[in-house]
Amino acid sequence: MRNVMFVLAATALLTGSAFAQDNTGSQTDPSAATGSSNAAVNPKGNAGSSVNASGTVQIVAPSALEKGANSFTEGQARSRLEGAGLASVTGLHKDDQGIWRGKAMHNGKAVDVGFDYKGNIGAQ
């Protein structure tokens, strides 16, 4: 009976550690598992992100922004817009398509700005 208990305990310990690791024994990147294109989750940027291959932010036409459930907060949207070189961001609000919209200054000109759920930034 004691041997059976020992075998069960050893099996439980070995099985538990197998669930905590992938097949290489190392931790995995959670964004790789989800394939997320959300720049907040996957800052490396995937297709659809406003970060291009050189790592710089690309501002697109407002018509290129995609509607969808936007989980960015107002503060996160403002921070991303300012990080893209837009200054004096004001009037941010989320529209009925899930796109953050507002006004800002870009290269000395007043522009309308948008920020979609994928992290794309639009200015006109």
| Cα–Cα distance measured from residue 56 to residue 89, given in angstroms and rounded to the nearest whole number | 20
Position with higher pLDDT, 48 vs 98: 98
Separation of alpha carbons 24 and 67, rounded Å: 39
Q: Where are the alpha helices (DSSP H) in 52-120?
A: 74-83
Domain hosting residue 80, numbered range: 2-123
Q: What percent of the chain has pLDDT over 90?
A: 45
> Residue 52: is it exposed, middle or buried by C-beta count within 10 angstroms (0-12/13-18/19+)?
exposed
Question: What confidence tens digit (pLDDT) does each residue in 45-91 have?
Answer: 434 445 555 455 678 888 899 999 999 999 999 999 999 999 999 99
- CB-based contact 123:86 (threshold 8 Å): yes
pTM over 0.95: no
Mean pLDDT of all residues in 31-41? 46
Sheet strand arrangement including 59-60: 59-60, 121-123, 109-115, 100-106, 87-94
pLDDT score at 42: 45
Task: Determine the pLDDT at residue 44.
Answer: 42
Q: Taking every pair of C-alpha atoms in the chain, what is the biggest distance, in angstroms? A: 82
Number of domains in the chain: 1
Res. 37: pLDDT tops 70: no
Res 102 pLDDT > 90? yes
pLDDT digits (tens, 9 = 90+) for 21-30: 444 444 444 4
